[in-house]
Amino acid sequence: MNVNWVRLFNNKVSDLEYSDHWNIIKDDNLLPSRSPTGWNFYKTSSFARFHCSTCPNKWASAKALIIFSMRLQNGEGEVKVRFCKQQCRQNHAVEANFVEPVFDEENIKQVLNRLIAKIQQRCYHESIGKRTTWCESNVKVQGPHEKKHCEACKLGICTEES
Ligand SMILES: [Zn+2]
Ligand SMILES: [Zn+2]
């Protein structure tokens, strides 16, 4: 798992007013439909870049999907995260790999702020008065959404219109 995510997550949870220990791990098989009881599911998206692993092509997405599942039990908080991958649209002799999004630190922080708000609501039953808002990046994103290159579409959890 990307060290920035872990470091920034640890920073954020240390600000919580509770003594529980929280941990974040990557789970590439995480699915909303498979969330067992006791786990809280949360889905969000953020601006990210993708780099093809087969050719030099790079692209950006304003709504790279991230899914989380979290649970607090006996003083141990666990968060599982899955980053939905995308596939290069260039022609490849062999089908290109689906690759993970790369997020800027600023975007990671915004995502984590929303995640922590969810943890406060669902795991600590705090009422969060103000809605967490975020500004979408105004970076121009190329082309329409192509479902066949989107892992979230394949999983049936994508919110993006084609
Ligand atoms: Zn490619
Ligand atoms: Zn999609």
pLDDT in tens, 124-153: 998 866 554 444 444 555 567 888 999 999
Closest CA to 6 of 29, 28, 32, 24: 24
Cα 47 to ligand 1 centre (Å) = 20
> Measured between alpha carbons, how far is residue 12 from residues 37, 57, 110, 113 in Å?
25, 34, 11, 8
Residue spans of the domains in the chain: they are: 3-155
For ligand 2, the distance from its centroid to the CA atom of residue 125, given in whole angstroms, is 32
pLDDT at 131: 52
Q: Which of 6, 10, 63, 42 is nearest to 118 (CA)?
A: 42
What's the CA-to-centroid distance between 95 and ligand 1, angstroms? 9
> What's residue 142's pLDDT?
57
- For range 17-44, the mean pLDDT: 91
